[in-house]
């Protein structure tokens, strides 16, 4: 278990804030009062949660060549056939995974291949499960072409709490298993769009582990 690089600055700021608030509590209440210990306990819990949010467990993708893994931790909230208007402009199978603030928030590639498309979109901050969040919220779209010629679209979507999406790839990049393509800070969702006819293994309500849980097969 390590700390994700996206968390270094925020963890440092959280440490400074907690130190300042604890010092202020000691000055206001004295360091031997119950009020000071309450302030100290709140600061410790807050700092722990911030560190916990940016944790990065070691995960090894052990899936078969024809299997697609979940790009993130979370809960499967959507499995349906939809019209994808941005890149494919046609029908695709959509799998959506909702990430709570307690989940690991690193985003891994679903399969190896070549990045064919990557674009950031400014937008709103509707709750992540809102039907219009995938088209109106702040989001990124990344398309990976597998060596078999099939393409998978990954869409990071900001939620009501998430206010920063980070992605690391650009068109032409070669990605391989275990690579991360991005990170979303504080509660969000990832949509996966697959070709019609793909065998979906995931079920509604399933809890996924990014880079480990198999969600579909070509």
In a domain, residue 61? The reply is: no
Query: Which residue, 35, 56, 77, sits at the end of a domain?
Result: 56
Average pLDDT taken over every residue of the chain: 85
Q: What is the pLDDT of residues 8-62, one digit of tens each?
A: 888 898 889 988 998 888 888 788 888 888 988 998 998 888 887 777 778 888 8
In a domain, residue 162? The reply is: yes
Q: Report the CATH number at residue 75.
A: 2.70.70.10
* Strand-pair category, 180-185 with 199-200: unpaired
CA distances from 116 to 110, 112, 152, 212 (A): 14, 12, 10, 24
> Would the pTM of this model clear 0.85, i.e. be above it?
no
Question: Residue 184: CA atoms inside 13 Å, Cβ hemisphere, count?
Answer: 34
Q: What is the pLDDT of residues 109-128, one digit of tens each?
A: 999 999 999 998 876 655 55
63 is catalytic: no
pLDDT at residue number 5: 79
Is pLDDT at 132 greater than 70 in this prediction? Answer: no
Other C-beta atoms lying within 10 Å of the C-beta of residue 61: 19
Domain encompassing residue 154: 67-217
Active-site residue, from 22, 133, 134, 188: 188
Residue 67 token pair: 């299997």
């Amino acid at each position: 278990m390590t700390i994700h690089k996206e968390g270094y600055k925020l963890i440092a700021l959280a440490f400074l804030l907690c130190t300042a608030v604890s010092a202020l509590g000691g000055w206001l209440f004295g360091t031997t009062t119950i009020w000071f210990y309450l302030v100290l306990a709140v600061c410790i819990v807050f700092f722990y949660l911030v560190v916990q949010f940016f944790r990065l467990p070691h995960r090894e993708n052990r899936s078969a060549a024809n299997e697609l893994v979940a790009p993130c931790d979370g809960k499967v909230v959507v499995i349906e056939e939809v019209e994808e208007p941005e890149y494919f402009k046609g029908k695709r199978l959509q799998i959506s995974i909702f990430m709570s603030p307690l989940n690991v928030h690193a985003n891994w590639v679903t399969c190896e291949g070549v990045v064919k498309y990557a674009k950031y979109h400014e937008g709103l901050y509707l709750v992540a499960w809102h039907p219009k969040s995938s088209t109106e919220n702040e989001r990124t779209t990344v398309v990976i072409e597998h060596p078999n010629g099939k393409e998978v679209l990954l869409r990071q979507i900001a939620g009501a709490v998430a206010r920063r999406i980070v992605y690391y790839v650009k068109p032409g990049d070669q990605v391989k298993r275990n690579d991360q393509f991005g990170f979303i800070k504080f509660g969000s969702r990832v949509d996966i769009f697959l070709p019609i006819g793909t065998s979906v293994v995931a079920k509604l309500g399933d809890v996924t582990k990014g880079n480990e849980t198999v969600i579909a097969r070509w």
